[in-house]
Amino acid sequence: MPVPSPPLPTRMLYFQMVIMAGTVMLAYYFEYTDTFTVNLQGFFCYESAYRKPYPGPEESSAVPPVLLYSLAAGVPVLVVIVGETAVFCLQMATRDFENQEKTILTGDCCYINPLVRRTVRFLGIYAFGLFATDIFVNAGQVVTGNLAPHFLALCKPNYTALGCQQFTQFVSGAESCSGNPDLVMKARKTFPSKEAALSIYAATYITMYITHTIKARGTRLAKPVLCLSIMCMAFLTGINRVAEYRNHWSDVIAGFLVGISIAVFLVVCVVNNFRGRQPEHEQSHMDNLGQMSMISIPRVEHSVVKVRPLVNG
């Protein structure tokens, strides 16, 4: 007997899992391997743009990587779970079943609750965008090889051996640096800023989720305050990168553009139901109105009868 093929929803789920796994693997190769060679950008002797003091390892920053990655991964998950649970409970309490997504069947045995489905959908798209942002940023850093403001402090070039007699002399090549190779390589990967891109991506995604999904009375000022606070923390992260001489302004601005672009694209073009479903009774009513034919009402003219008064004479 021929083995029946899995239903379309199951096949689409498998396909999406393959895409997600491929995205994670690509981000891993960019982040933790030397598969992709960084472009070795040269510099001018005594160039002031790269002579800032070394601020120390990333762990000594005011926004260390552990804190940044924890907030980028934990806060959106918490907000989406709390938001979807509150919306689901509110719909159940008010018996708003028309606006609620139906329980769907995947395969032959798995029933997915609308709360679980919406939560997994929002978090899955967010996780995909987070890894995509990391890939875009790492690709830009590998291709450009832009130097950090503190590059010369780590490079420690021997200006005498390089023959730097004037400021306009250009130095290129990996042999121009005598510092720690690992630190020098990290100082060559600053454009765009990864911290700025990840922070603004998380802030933009969560801000759009809160704005378009959570609709309740009494949140006219609460939602803007919450959204602006989240966006403010992302912008402060980028400003801190510049203040600590870890990135240039151009690096931070490019990171902001990458993160905002990916978040807006995913929300607008992929997660196309942030505004919720249209009630079924309203949709059927609109469909009936669209199918109705135009009925011409005949024009009725009324004749006016003038009555003359009778004069008795």
**DSSP β-bridge partners for residue 44:** 170
Q: Are 72 and 199 in contact (CB under 8 A)?
A: yes
Per-residue pLDDT reduced to its tens digit, 50-78: 999 999 999 999 999 999 999 999 999 99
Highest mean pLDDT among 119-123, 271-275, 288-292: 119-123
Question: Of the given ranges (101-110, 146-155, 252-261, 279-288), which has the lowest mean pLDDT?
Answer: 279-288
State yes or no: pLDDT of 297 exceeds 60. no
Given this model, what pLDDT does residue 151 score?
Answer: 94
Sign of torsion over alpha carbons 157, 162, 166, 170 = negative
Separation between Cα atoms, residue 105 and residue 140, nearest integer Å: 42
Given this model, what pLDDT does residue 96 score?
Answer: 55
Given this model, what pLDDT does residue 118 score?
Answer: 85
Which residue has 């919406």 as its token pair?
A: 118
Q: Averaged over 33-41, what is the pLDDT?
A: 89
> What DSSP string runs through the chain?
-PPPPPPHHHHHHHHHHHHHHHHHHHHHHHHH---SPPP---EETT-GGG-PPP---GGGSSS-HHHHHHHHHHHHHHHHHHHHHHHHHHHHHTT--SSSPPPEEETTTEEE-HHHHHHHHHHHHHHHHHHHHHHHHHHHHHHH-PPPTTHHHHH---HHHHT--STT-EE-SGGG--S-HHHHHHHT--SS-HHHHHHHHHHHHHHHHHHHH---TT-TTHHHHHHHHHHHHHHHHHHHHHHTTSS-HHHHHHHHHHHHHHHHHIIIII-TTTT-PPPHHHHHHHHHHHHPPP-PPPP---PPPP-PPP---
* Residue 87: pLDDT band with limits 50, 70, 90: confident
Q: Averaged over 267-280, what is the pLDDT?
A: 62
> How many Cα atoms are found within 13 Å in the side-chain-facing hemisphere of 95?
0
Question: Of the given ranges (107-121, 228-242, 249-263), which has the lowest mean pLDDT?
Answer: 107-121
Separation between Cα atoms, residue 84 and residue 225, nearest integer Å: 20
Name every residue whose Cβ is closer than 8 Å to that of residue 198 and which is 6 or more positions away in sequence.
68, 69, 72, 130, 133, 134, 137, 259
Given this model, what pLDDT does residue 277 score?
Answer: 45
Per-residue pLDDT reduced to its tens digit, 141-150: 999 999 999 9
* Residue 278: pLDDT band with limits 50, 70, 90: very low
Amino acid identity of residue 195, one-letter, is: E
Q: How far is CA 232 from CA 170, 250, 259, in A?
A: 40, 19, 15
State yes or no: pLDDT of 279 exceeds 60. no
Nearest to 77 by CA among 259, 212, 202, 200: 202
Given this model, what pLDDT does residue 284 score?
Answer: 45
Given this model, what pLDDT does residue 202 score?
Answer: 96
Amino acid identity of residue 94, one-letter, is: T
State yes or no: pLDDT of 181 exceeds 70. yes
Given this model, what pLDDT does residue 86 score?
Answer: 85
Given this model, what pLDDT does residue 9 score?
Answer: 61
Average pLDDT of the chain to the nearest whole number: 80
Name every residue whose Cβ is closer than 8 Å to that of residue 41 and which is 6 or more positions away in sequence.
144, 145, 146, 147, 172, 188
Given this model, what pLDDT does residue 283 score?
Answer: 44
Separation between Cα atoms, residue 109 and residue 199, nearest integer Å: 40
Highest mean pLDDT among 12-21, 215-224, 241-250, 269-278: 241-250
- Which two structure tokens, joined as six digits, stand for 179? 């510092």
Q: Averaged over 108-117, what is the pLDDT?
A: 67
